[in-house]
Amino acid sequence: MSPSVPQATAAPGPAGTAARLDALRGPVPPRSHDARTIAALTVNPGCSRRAVLDAAGVDKRKLAERIGFPARYGQSPFAITRGLAFEKQVKADNCAALLELLRAEPLRFDVPEHEYVDLGVEPEADPAAPVNLDRAARYERTRQAFARVAAGEPLLADHPLLRLDVGGRTAYVEPDVVALSARPADASASAPARLYVAEVKSFAVIDGQADPAKVGAAATQAAVYVLALRRLFTELGVDPAIVADDVLLICPTDFANKPSAHLLDVRRQIAAVERQLARLPRIGALIADLDPAVDFDLAVDPPEAKGEPGREHRSAVELTKSLTMIEARYAPECVTNCEMAFHCRSEARAAGAADALGRSVRDALGGIESLSEALEIADGTAGAGSGQHEAARLLRAAARAYDEALRVAPRAAGGSEADG
C-alpha cells in the first residue's frame, strides 16, 4: 500500500470512506459497474452486502469462486454469435437500416439526414482496427460529439461511451447504440427534435409479442443509458429533457432476421434506477461500524517456486467470515442478479430464513423472518411476540385446518358430479 493512502482507521468523511473501500478490496484493480450491474441494483435494492462489495469494487464473481460458491452465469456461444450478427446487420452502412426503420411505419418519425460518427474508433485510425478501448479518450470524443448535438447538429453516434457516478465510483456504460434526433409522427413541426437511445437486442418479437422478462431487462438497461446521457447534457449546460423518455428497441421480427423498431416508455425504470443511485452514497454509514479486520482482499502473491500455488492473501474461511459481518438481504431473485447468490442462499437456508423461500412466503407467514419461529407459533409451542398476534392467529388457523383436512377423506373419484 502506498504511503499516501490513509489507513482504514482514517477519520470519517469522503476521503476516509474512499480509503476504507480501497482497503476492503485490497491491492487489486477495482471492478466497476456496467449497465447490467446497475440495472441489477433495482432488483434487490436493500442489500447492504452487495452495496459494500460494489462500492469497494470487489470482483464478486471471483469472490464467490474463492469461497466455493461459483456463480452459474454464462452465455451460449450461439446466442453471442447471433447477437453480434444482428447488431452488425442493423448498423451496416452507417446504420442506414436503423434510420429507415424509424421513418417507416409504424413509427413514421421525422428524421433528418444524420452525420454518422463512430465514437469507438479514433478519427484517423485504420477502420479495420478493433474498437479502441481507451475509455477516457472515448468518453472525451463522446462528450465533444454531444456538444455538437446540443448545438443542433443531427449526429448519429455509434459506440458512445457514457459515464455515471455509482456510489462515488465512476462507471462507464456503453449503449450498443446510438442517439439520434428525431421527431415523433404526432409532434407538431415546431416541436424540438429529441434524442433517442436505441438498443439492439436479438430476441425475436413474434406477432407483436416478445418475452416480457427480456423486454423488461432491456428497458432497465436502456434507462441506465438515458440517465447517463442526461447527466452528460446537464454537464454540458443543456436541458437534459432533450433525451426522450422513450427508447427504441430494435429486434428481429417473427422468425426472420428482419429488424423492427419498437418504442418503449422507460420512465418507470429511469425513476427506479435514479432512486437506487441516490441511496448509494449512504455507503459511508454502512462501512463506518465495520470491524477493521473485515476485507475482501482477493490478491494472490506469485508462487515462490515454479509449480507451487500462489499465496492467497485471504483464505476462503477468512473471506466467508468477512462476508458474514455485512448484512445481506437474500431473495430468490438474487440467483439471476448477483454473483454472491449461492453463498447467500446457503447462509439464508442454514439460518432458516423465510426469505429463502421468497418474499410471498414470508408475507404469507405474517412477515415472520424465521421459519422455525413461524412453525413454533403455528404449532402452539411458542407464543406470539408483540405485533405478531394477527400472524399468530392465521398461522394457528392454518396449522389446524391443514391437520384436520388430512384426516378428512376426499370426495370419492368416480362419484356423481353433484356440481353438474
Partner 1 sequence: MSTLTALARARAARGGRAVPITAVRHVHVSDEPLVVIPLMQAGEAAAPLAVMAGTDRDAPTLLVVAQPRNRDQRFEFLTAFAELLVPYIDARRQHTETVEATKNHEEWERCTDAPQLILPNPGGVEALRLLGRSARFRTVDGPYPVDARVPLLGRYLTWFADDRAPMPGSSVCLALTSVLAQHWATGQSALEDQHLPALLSWIDPPDGMSGAAAALLAEDPDAVPPAGPATDPAFDTGVLAPLVRAQEEARAADDMRAVAKAEEELRAALAAQLEPTWETVWRGIDVLRAMPAAASDELRWQVDRGRFTDFMTGIEDGAPPQPKRPSAVAAARRLADLESAQQSYDRTQAIDDPLVLARYRVGGEAFAGRITFVDAERQEIKGKRAWPRPLVVMQTQDEVILRPGVKLASPARVNQTVRLLAVRPAEAGGFEVELELQSGMGRGKTPEAGSVPAVGEERCYATFLAEQRGTRPELPDADQTPWTHGGPPWPHVARAEDQAEEWR
Q: Which residues contact 360 (CB under 8 A, 6 or more apart)?
A: none
* Angstrom distance (rounded) from CA 398 to CA 378: 8
Beta strands 179-182 and 194-200 are antiparallel
Task: Select from 200-208, 221-229, 322-330, 395-403 the region that touches ligand SF4 (CB under 6 A).
Answer: 322-330
* Angstrom distance (rounded) from CA 385 to CA 324: 27
Task: Select from 130-138, 158-166, 218-226, 334-342 the region that touches ligand SF4 (CB under 6 A).
Answer: 334-342
Sign of CA dihedral 379, 382, 383, 385: negative
Report the phi/psi class of residue 277: left, alpha or beta, with left for phi > 0 and alpha for psi in -120 to 50. Answer: alpha
Query: Which of 31, 1, 57, 51 is CA-nearest to residue 284?
Result: 51
Binding mask 356-375 for partner 1 (x = CB under 8 A): xxx-xxxxxxx----xx-xx
Task: Select from 148-156, 225-233, 274-282, 332-340 the region that touches ligand SF4 (CB under 6 A).
Answer: 332-340
Q: Of these partners, partner 1, ligand SF4, none, which one is at the site of residue 402 (CB under 5 to 8 Å by kind)?
A: partner 1
DSSP state, residue 303: P
Cell, residue 157: 453516434
Indicate which single residue of 313, 329, 349, 396 sits in contact with ligand SF4 (rule: CB under 6 A).
Answer: 329
In the complex, what is the shortest distance from the CB of residue 331 to partner 1, in angstroms, rounded to a whole number? 8
Span between the terminal Cα atoms of the chain, in Å: 80
* Residue pair 54/167 in contact by the 8 Å Cβ criterion: yes
Applying CB under 8 A, does 394 fall inside the site for partner 1?
yes
Q: Of these partners, ligand SF4, partner 1, none, which one is at the site of residue 50 (CB under 5 to 8 Å by kind)?
A: ligand SF4
* Residue pair 208/260 in contact by the 8 Å Cβ criterion: no
Task: Select from 169-177, 195-203, 260-268, 330-338 the region that touches ligand SF4 (CB under 6 A).
Answer: 330-338
Applying CB under 8 A, does 77 fall inside the site for partner 1?
yes
In the complex, what is the shortest distance from the CB of residue 412 to partner 1, in angstroms, rounded to a whole number? 6
Q: Which residues contact 138 (CB under 8 A, 6 or more apart)?
A: 119, 120, 132, 159, 161
Applying CB under 6 A, does 344 fall inside the site for ligand SF4?
yes
Applying CB under 6 A, does 49 fall inside the site for ligand SF4?
yes
Residues that bind partner 1 (CB under 8 A): 72, 74-83, 202-204, 206-208, 252, 254-258, 332-333, 335, 349, 352, 354, 356-358, 360-366, 371-372, 374-375, 378, 393-395, 397-402, 404-406, 408-415, 417-420
| Chain positions contacting ligand SF4, by CB under 6 A | 44, 47, 49-50, 328-330, 334, 338, 340-341, 344
